[in-house]
Structure 1
Amino acid sequence: MPRRIAGRELLDLLGKAGRQTAILDLRSPLERSNGHIAVSAGIPYHDLEQRIATLVPNRGATVVLAGAQQVDERGAALLERLGYRDVAILDNGIDGWKSAGGRVYTGTNVRSKTLGEWIERRYSTPTVDSDTVDEWRREGADVVVIDSRPASEYVHHHIPGAYNSGGGAEIAFRTAQVVQDPGTKVVINCAGRTRGIVAAQSLINTGIPNPVYSLHNGTPAWERSGHPLAFGDGPAVPAPEQVSPQLAEWAATTLAKAGAAVVDIDDVRTGLGDDATTTYLLDVRTPQEYQLGHYSAAVSAPGGQLVQATDEYIAVRGARVVLVDTPDFVRAANTAQWLRFLHDGPLSVLAHLPGADIARPQPTAVPVPDVPRVSWDELEEWRSRGPVWIVDLRSSNGYAAGHIPGSIHARREHLDNIVADTGAGRVVLVGGSEYAAEHVAATLPGTWVLTGGIDAATDLTADDGQYAGEIVDRTGPPDFGPERDAWYADYFAWELSLLSESDGDPFFDFDAVDDR
């Protein structure tokens, strides 16, 4: 039976050094973005079994649910069924936190983005506007633009001629491959502010002699200034065969300053086997390197994204975090120098050794349950003989891109009503490679799951979408057009207010961390 915890008690708990506690918000991404506890991690009830083993790998960790009372109660019962042994519910959810004096923040990845603003202020990170960069280029100046976003975002849109770095932590690692002249101007962009600022300052910190700038407000400002964007592939910055002695020395010095020791495989195995602690093994290399070979216990967490969205990777405050990198540790150092401001537990680094492996002593993944399933051919036959409700549980973006004709998009919270309204009709749940619908079916007797998920369907459409409720799993900008411009105007106003909004909040006291 989950216990109750008052807001004041939770504030006191978070103030205890070394106490390993996860604050989870089970509301939808949209609800959470309208006001949440900054040191919480968002994991919607809809996705709980899909993500909990990665976000809270140790079932003995203290877990406090702090969102909305009704969903917290359902989530607590589910977590206890999954084997989590210390689950608490915050009395009155967010309101209970506020009544105890805790602050609430809107938006997403709030602490990470506030850190970006703090970095720019603390280090006076140089910035440059889009018109100036365009003028430099037209005048034939020696200028290189490097995109700090992951490759998937770069392909969606980028500044013409900009290099695809593969991600923010890669810039310190790779820039020497395309910048040899110390007079070359280097401009770092993202799709907003944080990743451009962090990557630019990271490159400056390596001691590069070049003038380095972050592009003010990134690609939205570039487009807003009337400059065209490019789409698809573009030039990429290659990885070095080996880093320079100077860069290797910078990595070692930076890790020492961050208090991140170099550990070995045996040490990590011991940590993973300790039931009293939580250890995260996060691989900060590119997703491509991870796919080619990684430790079984490691989660892909490219360094730039880990700093940009720490609360999406690390939920347990005080946990041990081990960063996996190539033996030069440049990307690990680049990550650790900023991660120490966002996570209060011990940091260490581990070299990825091809052929070696590290697995958790006990698998943490939630096993996919055995539930009634139906093949695509059987489903087609059912539909020819009577009413069948096909419910697509994937993301709203995935559903919009292609779904079974006549299906309805829904989230877990909609299903009780859907099942009650179906009468004698069958209910078939549809998942995909990233969403196992079986977890939901196991809690909803009388439903079936489409074997093979959406990939088994031979007939898909992007038209006539039906939604069981408001779309609540999207918090980012709309696609290109006036609505996107308006969204970014509000976003930049919000981001530029973060330092003042968080002033005096101990969870944002980056100055104190910097002084250690």
Structure 2
Amino acid sequence: MNIPPVTPSQVRSMLLLRREIALLDLRHEAAFATGHPLFAANMPVGRIALEAEARLPRKDAPIVVYDAGEGLVAEAAARFAGLGYSDVRQLEGGLSAWRKAGFEIFIDVNSYAKAFGELVESRRHTPSLSAEEVAALLARRADIRILDVRRPDEYATMNIPGSVSVPGAELVLRAGDVAPDPATTIVVNCAGRTRSIIGTQSLINAGIANKVVALRNGTMGWTLANQALEHGADRHGGIGQLEGARDKARDVAYRAGVKHLSTSELALLESDATRTLYRFDVRPLKDYTAGHIPAFRHYPGGQLVQEIDMAAPVRGARIVLTDDKGVRADMTASWLAQMGWEVYVLEGVYDGALDAGPPQILPKPDPSHRYRRPYEGTEASREAMQAYFDWEYGLVEQLKRDGTHGFFVI
């Protein structure tokens, strides 16, 4: 099978010019996490049949595949061809050629979202407190509320004692209910750094009256500081004053350059066969299951920002978000826009026909092929946690050396 080659320099040019490209690493996730280009997405060759049509919705989008010498390219190209994909090329020389060209290699997963989070903190000087400082505030019963922005299942596994689960995109919608007194200090935490930085800055960008700080280094930092974690908690924040939250979120989205669409304008985007279009419903699972717009995939907003490489591997594609209350879509869109995406929010569509039922869920990979995140579960080693932070602290400088990101920070 003849697989046309494309050089590392040509791939870099496509990224710089923001042309559509899906740069796909065909190795298992554990190998992918050892090193890859910034905007590479992981799609193991054995999962192409499971994942391709959900993650690569346009069959003639430019796809560039590579491995690190394992011989996976020919099999991947055949599988894509069998599914009807018509523009599949191979990175000439694979990952080693990318290295030899002098281009940056990024480790870990969700790397460019994590690098973006570090850039946000660097540019906006996002305020934070150490685990020891937060523990001291709790010990003296200070007027603080800790908001955990991770997925509900992560929160239930382990959490900062007394914290409340408010997944990232829900913050502006629910912070007013959790901390109604403007004198209350809000502490935002995740497992590590990215989601707490983005969550804290979301509340600051929205102009919330409370003082807001991140828990520096999240539950990993809490563990490294020898603080006890709680397990099995089930506290969840409710929705506060909707109108105020909607206005705040709309203003943040406007400042980030987010566009709003009607259903007729969405139809025009859908009719453009030359561009990839992703459609995501960013509400919680319960809301999506009760009723959602046909053809919109479920992806809670806070996770979408961190996992955008997994959700939308075609860099340069268009993204449309929907949310019946508007707040979550606007806040999520504001971050995706700053990450260089052409992103839209769909308005006024929940009074029509909706589909009910759970979302499509892709089968999980074999555990032996997964990269074990140092913030997963309760048994990660202290050495792995510290190594993770050492890497993350260096991401801003690595972004500078790479030079392809195109991020901006409002």
**Fold in common (TM above 0.5):** yes
Could you tell me how far apart the structure 2 residues matched to 1:352 and 1:113 are?
33
Which residue in 2 is equivalent to 1:243? 242
Could you tell me how far apart the structure 2 residues matched to 1:153 and 1:351 are?
32
5 Å matches for 1:311-350?
Answer: 311-326=309-324, 328-350=325-347
5 Å matches for 1:60-459?
Answer: 60-68=60-68, 70-165=71-166, 167-240=167-240, 243-245=242-244, 247-326=245-324, 328-357=325-354, 395-397=365-367
2:191·2:217 contact (CA, 8 Å) conserved in 1? yes
Choose which of 377, 382, 403 in structure 2 pairs with 1:506. 403
Letter in structure 2 aligned against 1:9: Q
Deviations 1:346-387 (Å, cap 9, x if unpaired)?
Answer: 4343445154359xxxxxx9xxxxxxxxxxxxxxxxxxxxxx
Could you tell me how far apart the structure 2 residues matched to 1:232 and 1:297 are?
34
The structure having more radius of gyration, on CA atoms, is 1
1:120 counterpart SS class = helix
1:497 and 2:391 matched? no
1:36, distance to aligned residue in structure 2 (A): 0.4
1:283·1:323 contact (CA, 8 Å) conserved in 2? yes
1:112·1:307 contact (CA, 8 Å) conserved in 2? yes
Structure 1 gap segments, 5+ residues each: 359-364, 366-392, 398-470
- 1:487 and 1:350, CA in 2 relative to 1: closer, same or farther beyond 3 A? farther
- 1:61 and 1:318, CA in 2 relative to 1: closer, same or farther beyond 3 A? same
1:487, distance to aligned residue in structure 2 (A): 1.3
Letter in structure 1 aligned against 2:251: T
1:261·1:347 contact (CA, 8 Å) conserved in 2? yes
Deviations 1:50-91 (Å, cap 9, x if unpaired)?
Answer: 111121101011111133351122101110110001110111
Could you tell me how far apart the structure 2 residues matched to 1:148 and 1:266 are?
34
Could you tell me how far apart the structure 2 residues matched to 1:16 and 1:491 are?
31
Letter in structure 1 aligned against 2:253: L
Could you tell me how far apart the structure 2 residues matched to 1:261 and 1:356 are?
24
Which residue in 2 is equivalent to 1:442? none
1:476 and 2:373 matched? yes
Letter in structure 1 aligned against 2:225: S
Could you tell me how far apart the structure 1 residues matched to 2:157 and 2:351 are?
32
Structure 2 gap segments, 5+ residues each: none
Could you tell me how far apart the structure 1 residues matched to 2:365 and 2:12 are?
34
Could you tell me how far apart the structure 2 residues matched to 1:501 and 1:290 are?
38
2:26·2:67 contact (CA, 8 Å) conserved in 1? yes
- 1:14 and 1:486, CA in 2 relative to 1: closer, same or farther beyond 3 A? same
Which residue in 2 is equivalent to 1:371? none
Bigger relative contact order (CA 8 A; separation at least 6): 2
Letter in structure 1 aligned against 2:398: E
Aligned length: 401
Letter in structure 2 aligned against 1:319: A
Which residue in 2 is equivalent to 1:423? none
1:508 counterpart SS class = coil
Letter in structure 1 aligned against 2:295: A
2:131·2:221 contact (CA, 8 Å) conserved in 1? yes
1:124, distance to aligned residue in structure 2 (A): 1.2
1:162·1:234 contact (CA, 8 Å) conserved in 2? no
Could you tell me how far apart the structure 2 residues matched to 1:350 and 1:485 are?
46
1:114, distance to aligned residue in structure 2 (A): 1.0
Could you tell me how far apart the structure 1 residues matched to 2:364 and 2:332 are?
32
Letter in structure 2 aligned against 1:115: F
Could you tell me how far apart the structure 1 residues matched to 2:343 and 2:228 are?
45
1:514, distance to aligned residue in structure 2 (A): 3.9
2:381 counterpart SS class = helix
2:390 counterpart SS class = helix
2:154 counterpart SS class = helix
Could you tell me how far apart the structure 2 residues matched to 1:230 and 1:351 are?
41
- Greater shift, 23-32 or 2-11, is seen at 2-11
2:266·2:346 contact (CA, 8 Å) conserved in 1? no
TM-score w.r.t. the length of structure 2 is 0.92
1:226, distance to aligned residue in structure 2 (A): 2.7
TM-score w.r.t. the length of structure 1 is 0.74
Question: Could you tell me the percent identity over the aligned residues?
Answer: 31
- 1:111 and 1:253, CA in 2 relative to 1: closer, same or farther beyond 3 A? same
- 1:73 and 1:324, CA in 2 relative to 1: closer, same or farther beyond 3 A? same
1:46 counterpart SS class = helix
1:114·1:495 contact (CA, 8 Å) conserved in 2? yes
- The CA RMSD measured in Å over matched residues stands at 2.1
Could you tell me how far apart the structure 1 residues matched to 2:339 and 2:299 are?
15
Could you tell me how far apart the structure 2 residues matched to 1:333 and 1:89 are?
37
Could you tell me how far apart the structure 2 residues matched to 1:205 and 1:39 are?
27
1:2·1:77 contact (CA, 8 Å) conserved in 2? no
2:106 counterpart SS class = coil
Which residue in 2 is equivalent to 1:407? none
